Amino acid sequence: MIRIELYADVVCAWAYIGKRRVEAALREWDGGEAEVVWRPFRIDPMAPAEAQPLAEVLQDPLVDAALQQCAPGLSAAENRLRVSEIAAAEGLGPGWGARWRASSHDAHRLISLAYDAGGAVLQDAVAEGVLRAHFVEGRDISLAATLEEVAAATGFADGGRLLSEGGAEQAVREMLLRGKAIGVTTSPTLVVAGQALVGAQAPGAIAEFLAGAAGAGARELPAEVERFRQAEALLDKGDPLGCLTLVRPLAEAHGGDPNVRLLTARAYFHSAQLNRARALLEALVADAPDDAYARLMLGRTLERQGLADEAAPHLRVAGAMVPSYGKSS
């Protein structure tokens, strides 16, 4: 079975259009079974907890100017008309148009919970219900009552209760970080076997992408290796706190693994949690005195703490073992 990860925001019109196009592509798909799994993305992470009438928001010149960047050459109003016509051509309606600037965080939680409860089929039904509520029915999907009604109507009877209990809060935050780690920057983005297709492409282009990704035969990594690599990628992208979020379960389960400990120490260092970084690095150096990189990081940590005399021996040893470390210090 091919797994299609659909990174999308339920307040993104192109996500709904893209959903229809993926469905059309899969109707013609002859490459075996396929499972579409919804993953969260936020196009408006600053949306307030209490939704705002969209008509009022769009009167703000700054918002209108920002929206024009989505379709160069068109005014925001012209672009909204264009999108509504494309949506109608995909059979979305009758009626089209969001009425609220709403936070999608809880909607993503509900969609994640639906997958845990009933797999891709239930998740797809809940995602469809949320999208329809926002774009066709003009409802406020940031409201718990709206999401509870969507859940009940799509056969997810426990959805409202699980939301009220805080379900999938951590899961959604982690999945947003995982998307960032693998380079997802827009909604929708399809990810299959490590390959990505950006935007609501035509069904033919989606089918071609699926065939190519399925034929590539990328080996699926163990979950813990994938998590480690994504945590490392976040650190490389300048997000040490995100790195710590993803690496924390590994540290809890494999606290003695030197690679996990070193990555955690690096994230502490780059997030200015120097005492925590120092404690981990001192333990690493004690366990492996010939680990040049751990010594280098310990020396730099001590330097940042204003302990130059204590840092110097570690930096000298690191530079002796790896000459380039001596130059970088």
Q: Once rounded to an integer, what is the mean pLDDT over residues 278-291? A: 97
Residue 224: HSE in the Cβ half-sphere, 13 Å Cα cutoff: 10
Residue 228 sits in the same domain as residue 277: yes
Mean pLDDT of the chain: 93
- Which CATH number fits the domain that encloses residue 274? 1.25.40.10
Q: What is the pLDDT at residue 304?
A: 97
Measured between alpha carbons, how far is 190 from 107 in angstroms, rounded to an integer?
A: 19
The DSSP bridge partners found for residue 199 are none
Q: CA 149: distance to chain centroid?
A: 26
Q: What is the pLDDT at residue 329?
A: 47
Last residue of a domain, one of 216, 231, 257: 216
Residue 227 sits in the same domain as residue 212: no
Percent of the chain with pLDDT over 70: 96
Q: What is the pLDDT at residue 67?
A: 62
Provide the pLDDT confidence category of residue 302 given band limits of 50, 70 and 90.
Answer: very high
Number of domains in the chain: 2
The sign one gets for the Cα dihedral 107, 108, 110, 111 is positive
Give pLDDT tens digits for 39-84. 999 998 989 999 999 989 888 877 766 566 566 677 777 888 899 9
- Which CATH number fits the domain that encloses residue 155? 3.40.30.10
Last residue of a domain, one of 216, 239, 257: 216
Measured between alpha carbons, how far is 180 from 42 in angstroms, rounded to an integer?
A: 11
Measured between alpha carbons, how far is 19 from 13 in angstroms, rounded to an integer?
A: 10
Give pLDDT tens digits for 20-41. 999 999 999 888 889 999 999 9
Last residue of a domain, one of 173, 201, 216: 216
Measured between alpha carbons, how far is 4 from 210 in angstroms, rounded to an integer?
A: 8
Q: What is the pLDDT at residue 10?
A: 97
- Residue 82 structural domain: 2-216
Give pLDDT tens digits for 134-188. 999 999 999 999 999 999 999 999 999 999 999 999 999 999 999 999 999 999 9
Residue 69 sits in the same domain as residue 166: yes
Residue 141 sits in the same domain as residue 112: yes
